[in-house]
Amino acid sequence: MRHKKVLTAYLFLSIPLLFFAFIRFYPMISAFYMSFTNWNIISPVRKLVGLSNYVGIFKDPVFMISLFNTLKYVLYGVPSVIVLSLALALLLNNVTKFQSFYRLIYVMPYITPIVATSWVWRWMYQKPPTGVINNFLSFLGLPARNFLMSTTEALPSIVATTVWVEIGYCVIIFLAGLQNIPKEYLEAARVDGANRRQLLFKITIPLLNPVIVFLSVMETIMFLRIFTQVYNMTDQGSGGPLNSTLPLVLYIYQKAFKSFDMGTAAAATVVLFLMILSITVLQLKVLNRRVQY
């Protein structure tokens, strides 16, 4: 009976293992191998070229621009999402009536297809009289902005859209963390004379540390892989103007399916994978330290 149960367990476990083997692991290993080859997706022949693709991408100025743009997305987007969603979660946690309704309002952008969201915001960013945001600025007597057509404003404009989308998810997670904080801690601190600021920075935020770490890492990975917003909000999905919004994933897409340079695209993919892996390992170390503490 014991062996039968073990065999049954392995049988059910084999289904997701096969899925990960053929859908996850095989493409990943194939991408690593492809990064050392010169393959144009049309020819069946894959010629090994060693590290030439890696040397080539780091000599490519467009790749370096996309790499720095990706880091900008992370640096601009992640702190904004964490701070704003934490502030909103703290406010919603004090709401006693219609809390579910407010949760739904904030989570709706997150569950809306990102393609639709991107096109709506692209329309809102247009010049007057089409763009809603520029019309509002004109109403206030302020000059119209170029937004997506500016080399300096395009990337922050896309970040703003992404932050608006991601806030809903983070607010829900923060609310769950806030509601798991024992009320006895807060009541004991109030009895000892702690004010609101001390309650926030001495009790609430330290107890939310695992949630903050988790969301920071997840949002960092999301911004590192940003693609759909940029592809739909820039002209012809080019990452313009002048590659000012080009992220690493869009660079990979252009190399693979426009230039048919699969080797270079695979090498850039490996670089992105190593960046994400490093952050994930850092996350595990921080969480393990927190648990041990």
pLDDT of residue 292: 44
- List of the chain residues with pLDDT < 50: 291-293
The model's pLDDT over 65-100, given as tens digits with 9 standing for 90+, comes to: 999 999 999 999 999 999 999 999 999 888 878 778
Cβ neighbour number for residue 95 with a 10 Å cutoff: 12
Q: How far is CA 155 from CA 150, 160, 242, in A?
A: 9, 9, 12
Q: What pLDDT does residue 289 have?
A: 59
Predicted confidence at residue 114, as pLDDT, reads 94
* Domain range 60-292, CATH architecture: Orthogonal Bundle (1.10)
pLDDT value of residue 8: 84
Cβ contact 116:175 at 8 Å: no
Burial 165-175 (b: 16+ CB within 10 A, else e): bbbbbbbbbbb
pLDDT in the model for residue 287: 62
For the stretch 156-165, pLDDT in tens is 999 999 999 9
The structural domains of the chain, with segments of one domain joined by +, span: 60-292
pTM beyond 0.85: yes
